Chains A and B, each alone.
Chain A
Amino acid sequence: MAIVEFRDVSRVYRNGEHEQRALDHVNLSLEEGQFIVVLGPSGAGKSTLLNMLGGLDSPTEGTILVNGKDISTLSADELAEYRAASVGFVFQSYNLIPTLTVIENVALVKEIAPNPLSSHDMLRAVGLEDHIHQFPAELSGGEQQRVSIARALAKNPHILLCDEPTGALDSETGVLVLRLLLSMARDMGKTIIIVTHNQNIARMADMVIRVKSGRIQSCEKQEHPLAVEEVDW
């Protein structure tokens, strides 16, 4: 069953006379519980695609259905509710709150998510149970990214959206983070969507979407995705 559907979605940015079409009549259907990788060069529109799906931005044209619900016409508050309940975000630059400790950063979502998971469990799942009282600045980049994943998961979302989650990490830590994300899809049934321009990550994916100039260039299903260890990093 399709958890996400893009129906003829376009996003146009206007700056005076200048008009930039970041997404151009995109049609897309994504299955639940899959590990999906969106590939494309810089400026191709892959982050815009992710932002649309995450409710950070709204399309200029078209409809986005998530679990059958149209999110393209939601108000600001409804979008906030959608983000709180349905999607988790992982960013390249972690975006943790520097004045909250690790556990507090994760527990933060309890304030808004309708069915949050245990913060301790999530931190245990990402292997950070020994760092819960540290501030983000006291952790390494990889550890911070794992906190960010724990926070995203603690909301118990259907979909986890990751924008270049390994972009700021060394390859060893990157592998660690990818393994974690993959296990979320495989073991917890979450739909993981990763935006990257790292071709290697695509080899782990159930589905690879290639974006170029705001259009979907291809949408390939991989019958036999590789395990993290099998990918040549």
Chain B
Amino acid sequence: MLLKKLFRTLWQYKAQFISMVIMIALGIGVFLGFNIEWYSLDVSTREIYDATGFADYRIFSDRGFTPEDLDRIRSVTGVDDATRYLSINTAVQGDTDVIALTVSTNMNVSGILLMDGAPYDETDPEGIWLSDSYAAANGKKIGDPLTLSYQTISVKGTVRGLIKSSEYLICVPDETQMMPDYTSYGYAYISPAMLDAAIPDMYRLFLGSSLYHQINVKSALEKSDFVEKADQALGTTRLILSRDETISWAETQGEIEEGQTMGSILPVLFLAIAILTMVTTMHRITASEKTQIGTLKALGFKDRRILRHYSCYALIIGLLGSALGIAIGYGLGRFILSPDGAMATYIDLPAWPLYAPAFTWIVIILINVFLTLIGCLSVRRMLAGTAADALRPYVPSRVRHLRMEESRRFKKLSFSTKWNLRDLLRHKSRSFMTLFGVIGCMVLLVGGLGMKNTMDAFLDIFYGKAIHYQYRVNLDTGSVTNEAAFRLADELDGDWCAQRAVQIGDKGYGLEIYSVTRDKVRFVDPNLNLVSLKDDGAYVCTRIARTWNLKEGDSLSFAPYDSDEHYTVRVAGILSSMTESVIMTSAAADRAGIPYTVSVIYTDQPDIPSGAHVLNTQSKKSIMDSFNTFMDLMNKMIWLLVIAAVVLGIVVLYNLGVMSYTERYREMATLKVIGFRDARIGRLLITQNLWLTFLGVLLGLPAGIGVLQYLLTALASEYELKLVLGPATYLISILLTFGVSLCVGLMISRKNSSIDMVAALKTEE
């Protein structure tokens, strides 16, 4: 019989129950979704790292490594395996595409994962194993011929297999390109035998067997330990990058950490609101059920049975919310992680299985236990004392005199102001919850829209203004001389840059030396203003400045790799940069005596002379095109956040609004009897909502900015983002929040017309 009562009561309080289920579902959904996202990414990336032997360290040398060098590294204690490795950007013949041609002498390290076609054969003189994503984007199939050229060398072969490789998990030519664009850039592996066959005899005489500019190593040694041992084994200091310093590892770890951050902030917000609303709702429901609870007690039902019965309401809400939340969580996970999903446009994984970390299930169980406990405690309060005590209707807290009531100004306030003010203070938990809901709504809106503003400003300044060229011409630093590069720069009416790898402490960074006389490259300060470089020192990006606690005027020491020299320069300023670099003018570099070779020319001229020194050309358009995918992804996420904010606002405000309406039903019936019109009573209700919304907006705005700043700080290792909020964000966030509040208020106030004055006033107070 009690079961029938259970379902009928659920139906009676359906608005509250449904909104609670939605709140719990949203909380659990967001919690599970983001945790599934980072955890699945973590598991899947580890799987491909293991399957393809992702290297722990990369040792670089412009002069290349011989088989003897490899043996020396292999013999280092603590090194598990190693390979000589080559990755060079080559042009696809008959196309403008660029493919990173890759050779690994030992495919156990930095190898491949076959997706389709013939397995890798190290003796195959013509076999090309091509990135399956590049093949899909360009209509390449197994068996297709492919010719890749590098300077005067051509590698002609046939596509034998389609592959993935963890070395190219995020397949971008360099850090300036944010998103992969497989229509124009991919990678391919060939065998060392094929590479050997492709090298003309003359080159072979010149290069010997030192074509491989990298040794990739699997080792569990600490970096400092490894660097010391590797340098000792090779007899010289080399640029050694750990996997943390590679784009693939750093960016995927960044995504994982981002997911962890999102998986901790947003769910806390949703779950906190859900649980606090649950406390308020369960208290109100059990309060209005008090006489029924008393009746059951008076009839002889044991307290334990009544507790169990009413706790079931909370448990049912929890279970339904959890079931729906789990579905939402997996849906959100699938939305982000799927072959057609958002993340697949960024990270090139072979499969997208979803895994939920074990702790999420424990948390979901604990949430259900906690919700049931909330229900149990709410009923216990109503059950306290004798059966006669329990039978008495619940009496809300008494209205207390406020200190401000003494003031003249208060006395002059209108009836509705006094009524609402005292009601807010009388029902503090309900008021607080409404406020919390509005703040949550605001935080999501400001966070979501603010993130878009911030990214827009970031893209606008870096790619709209700082990149003031149309083409970026990459030169072959192995063959080009500075004189030839200067001539080419003049010919192309361009500016130039020399890039080197340097070490500050034990960390590797880029050193970029610029000569900007034709305004093709511009620089951005941390406040996103364009600045000109001065010749009195070096600039560091904000990430370097933060890591090494540098400020303008400090001294900075760095050592270029492949050199025993150390250079100390004054920090001329801090810049915001896409790459983690030290930046200086050529004049400053000359003054400091830093040698360099020009590696890039920036120009507007489309006709780039093909010469021995030109490696390849990247157009600004191709870089910008890759952002469209990124911005699509960003826009989808923002839409999700805006929808979540609106749902959160509606659910919380409606639930608490209905509660407020129910609690004040009798008062409103009285007003109606006295002669107040429905519209007037409706305005009373809406006014209270609007007050709380106003306060919620005031508090939610800085809270949203704070959360956004926290997110940007969490992303700081990937991007140098500066928080930017446009007027439209303020306007949309405020208007949408007020809009939601007003709509919910109107929905509730419409109920006024159906107030049964007679029945309401007959009820005992």
A82-90, A181-189, A208-216 - the one binding chain B: A82-90
- Number of chain B residues close to chain A: CB under 8 A: 32
Q: How far is the CA of A82 from the CA of B761 in the complex (A)?
A: 19
The answer to whether B422 has its CB under 8 Å from any CB of chain A is: yes
Q: How far is the CA of A166 from the CA of B680 in the complex (A)?
A: 31
The answer to whether A81 has its CB under 8 Å from any CB of chain B is: yes
The answer to whether B123 has its CB under 8 Å from any CB of chain A is: no
- Is B758 a contact partner of A95 (Cβ separation < 8 A)? no
* B405 cross-chain contacts in A, Cβ below 8 A: 133
- Contact partner, A100, options B419, B669, B753, B763, Cβ 8 Å: B419
- Contact partner, A80, options B398, B401, B676, Cβ 8 Å: B676
- Contact partner, B674, options A94, A104, A108, Cβ 8 Å: A108
Contact with B along A70-114 (1 / 0, CB 8 A): 000000110011111100010101111111100010011101110
- Contact partner, A95, options B415, B426, B761, Cβ 8 Å: B761
* B757 cross-chain contacts in A, Cβ below 8 A: 51, 56
- Is B758 a contact partner of A47 (Cβ separation < 8 A)? yes
- Is B761 a contact partner of A93 (Cβ separation < 8 A)? yes
List residues 362-411 of chain B with CB under 8 A from any CB of chain A: 396, 398-399, 401, 405
Contact with A along B663-684 (1 / 0, CB 8 A): 0001101111111111010000
- Contact partner, B415, options A82, A89, A100, Cβ 8 Å: A100
- Is A80 a contact partner of B677 (Cβ separation < 8 A)? yes
The answer to whether B423 has its CB under 8 Å from any CB of chain A is: yes
List residues 267-304 of chain B with CB under 8 A from any CB of chain A: none
Whether A84 contacts B765 in the complex (CB less than 8 A), given A47-B758, A107-B415, comes out as no
The answer to whether B636 has its CB under 8 Å from any CB of chain A is: no
- Is B399 a contact partner of A81 (Cβ separation < 8 A)? no
List residues 581-599 of chain B with CB under 8 A from any CB of chain A: none
- Is A51 a contact partner of B758 (Cβ separation < 8 A)? yes
User: B392: shortest Cβ distance to chain A, in Å?
Assistant: 15
- Is A137 a contact partner of B399 (Cβ separation < 8 A)? yes
- Is A151 a contact partner of B674 (Cβ separation < 8 A)? yes
Interface centre among A77, A95, A107, A113 (most CB of B within 10 A): A95
The answer to whether B564 has its CB under 8 Å from any CB of chain A is: no
User: A14: shortest Cβ distance to chain B, in Å?
Assistant: 15
* A91 cross-chain contacts in B, Cβ below 8 A: 761
User: A94: shortest Cβ distance to chain B, in Å?
Assistant: 8
Q: How far is the CA of A36 from the CA of B405 in the complex (A)?
A: 41
- Is B399 a contact partner of A95 (Cβ separation < 8 A)? no
- Is A93 a contact partner of B674 (Cβ separation < 8 A)? no
The answer to whether A190 has its CB under 8 Å from any CB of chain B is: no
Q: How far is the CA of A129 from the CA of B399 in the complex (A)?
A: 20
In the complex, what residue of chain B is closest to A77 when comparing beta carbons?
Answer: B677
The answer to whether B418 has its CB under 8 Å from any CB of chain A is: yes
List residues 114-161 of chain A with CB under 8 A from any CB of chain B: 133, 135, 137, 151, 155
* A61 cross-chain contacts in B, Cβ below 8 A: none
* A104 cross-chain contacts in B, Cβ below 8 A: 415, 418
* A45 cross-chain contacts in B, Cβ below 8 A: none
The answer to whether A165 has its CB under 8 Å from any CB of chain B is: no
User: B688: shortest Cβ distance to chain A, in Å?
Assistant: 11
Q: How far is the CA of A107 from the CA of B761 in the complex (A)?
A: 20
- Is B675 a contact partner of A80 (Cβ separation < 8 A)? yes
- Is B415 a contact partner of A111 (Cβ separation < 8 A)? yes
* A82 cross-chain contacts in B, Cβ below 8 A: 675
- Is B674 a contact partner of A112 (Cβ separation < 8 A)? yes
Whether A111 contacts B676 in the complex (CB less than 8 A), given A56-B757, A135-B401, comes out as yes
- Is A56 a contact partner of B674 (Cβ separation < 8 A)? no
* B674 cross-chain contacts in A, Cβ below 8 A: 83-84, 89, 108-109, 112, 151, 155
- Is B423 a contact partner of A99 (Cβ separation < 8 A)? yes
In the complex, what residue of chain B is closest to A92 when comparing beta carbons?
Answer: B762
- Is B667 a contact partner of A98 (Cβ separation < 8 A)? yes
Q: How far is the CA of A54 from the CA of B758 in the complex (A)?
A: 11
In the complex, what residue of chain B is closest to A148 when comparing beta carbons?
Answer: B670
- Contact partner, B675, options A51, A84, A97, A107, Cβ 8 Å: A84
Q: How far is the CA of A71 from the CA of B419 in the complex (A)?
A: 31
The answer to whether A57 has its CB under 8 Å from any CB of chain B is: yes
- Is B418 a contact partner of A100 (Cβ separation < 8 A)? yes
Q: How far is the CA of A57 from the CA of B666 in the complex (A)?
A: 17
The answer to whether B764 has its CB under 8 Å from any CB of chain A is: yes
User: A169: shortest Cβ distance to chain B, in Å?
Assistant: 14
Q: How far is the CA of A91 from the CA of B415 in the complex (A)?
A: 22
In the complex, what residue of chain A is closest to B760 when comparing beta carbons?
Answer: A95
In the complex, what residue of chain B is closest to A151 when comparing beta carbons?
Answer: B674
Q: How far is the CA of A94 from the CA of B761 in the complex (A)?
A: 9
Q: How far is the CA of A83 from the CA of B757 in the complex (A)?
A: 12
- Is A108 a contact partner of B675 (Cβ separation < 8 A)? no
List residues 30-83 of chain A with CB under 8 A from any CB of chain B: 47, 51, 54, 56-57, 76-77, 80-83
User: B5: shortest Cβ distance to chain A, in Å?
Assistant: 21
- Contact partner, A83, options B419, B673, B763, Cβ 8 Å: B673
User: A71: shortest Cβ distance to chain B, in Å?
Assistant: 13
* B670 cross-chain contacts in A, Cβ below 8 A: 95-97
- Is B758 a contact partner of A89 (Cβ separation < 8 A)? no
- Is B675 a contact partner of A81 (Cβ separation < 8 A)? yes
User: A130: shortest Cβ distance to chain B, in Å?
Assistant: 16
* B677 cross-chain contacts in A, Cβ below 8 A: 76-77, 80-81
* A113 cross-chain contacts in B, Cβ below 8 A: 675
- Is B399 a contact partner of A135 (Cβ separation < 8 A)? yes
Q: How far is the CA of A168 from the CA of B154 in the complex (A)?
A: 104
Q: How far is the CA of A47 from the CA of B762 in the complex (A)?
A: 10
User: A90: shortest Cβ distance to chain B, in Å?
Assistant: 11
* B676 cross-chain contacts in A, Cβ below 8 A: 80, 84, 111-112
Q: How far is the CA of A83 from the CA of B405 in the complex (A)?
A: 31
User: A122: shortest Cβ distance to chain B, in Å?
Assistant: 14
- Is B678 a contact partner of A76 (Cβ separation < 8 A)? yes
- Is B667 a contact partner of A56 (Cβ separation < 8 A)? no
* B399 cross-chain contacts in A, Cβ below 8 A: 98-99, 135, 137
Interface centre among B666, B678, B757 (most CB of A within 10 A): B757
User: A148: shortest Cβ distance to chain B, in Å?
Assistant: 10
In the complex, what residue of chain B is closest to A96 when comparing beta carbons?
Answer: B670
Whether A112 contacts B675 in the complex (CB less than 8 A), given A56-B757, A99-B426, A135-B401, comes out as yes
User: A74: shortest Cβ distance to chain B, in Å?
Assistant: 12
Whether A99 contacts B398 in the complex (CB less than 8 A), given A80-B676, A109-B674, A151-B674, comes out as no
- Is A85 a contact partner of B675 (Cβ separation < 8 A)? yes
Q: How far is the CA of A151 from the CA of B419 in the complex (A)?
A: 16
User: B428: shortest Cβ distance to chain A, in Å?
Assistant: 13
In the complex, what residue of chain B is closest to A79 when comparing beta carbons?
Answer: B675
- Is B753 a contact partner of A57 (Cβ separation < 8 A)? no
List residues 410-435 of chain B with CB under 8 A from any CB of chain A: 415, 418-419, 422-423, 426
Q: How far is the CA of A16 from the CA of B671 in the complex (A)?
A: 30
Q: How far is the CA of A69 from the CA of B635 in the complex (A)?
A: 63
* B666 cross-chain contacts in A, Cβ below 8 A: 95
Q: How far is the CA of A81 from the CA of B762 in the complex (A)?
A: 22
* A108 cross-chain contacts in B, Cβ below 8 A: 415, 671, 674
In the complex, what residue of chain A is closest to B757 when comparing beta carbons?
Answer: A56
Contact with A along B683-716 (1 / 0, CB 8 A): 0000000000000000000000000000000000
Q: How far is the CA of A97 from the CA of B415 in the complex (A)?
A: 11
User: B563: shortest Cβ distance to chain A, in Å?
Assistant: 80
- Is A76 a contact partner of B753 (Cβ separation < 8 A)? yes
- Is A99 a contact partner of B675 (Cβ separation < 8 A)? no
Q: How far is the CA of A76 from the CA of B667 in the complex (A)?
A: 18
Interface CB pairs A-B, < 8 A, 11 = A80-B675, A83-B672, A89-B673, A91-B761, A95-B765, A96-B670, A98-B399, A99-B399, A99-B667, A111-B676, A137-B399
The 9 closest A-B pairs by CB, nearest first: A84-B675, A99-B422, A83-B675, A95-B670, A80-B677, A56-B757, A112-B675, A135-B399, A137-B398
Chain A residues in contact with chain B, CB under 8 A? 47, 51, 54, 56-57, 76-77, 80-85, 89, 91, 93-100, 104, 107-109, 111-113, 133, 135, 137, 151, 155
Q: A95-B765, A99-B399 are in contact. List 5 more A-B contacts (CB 8 A).
A: A80-B676, A80-B678, A99-B418, A99-B667, A112-B675
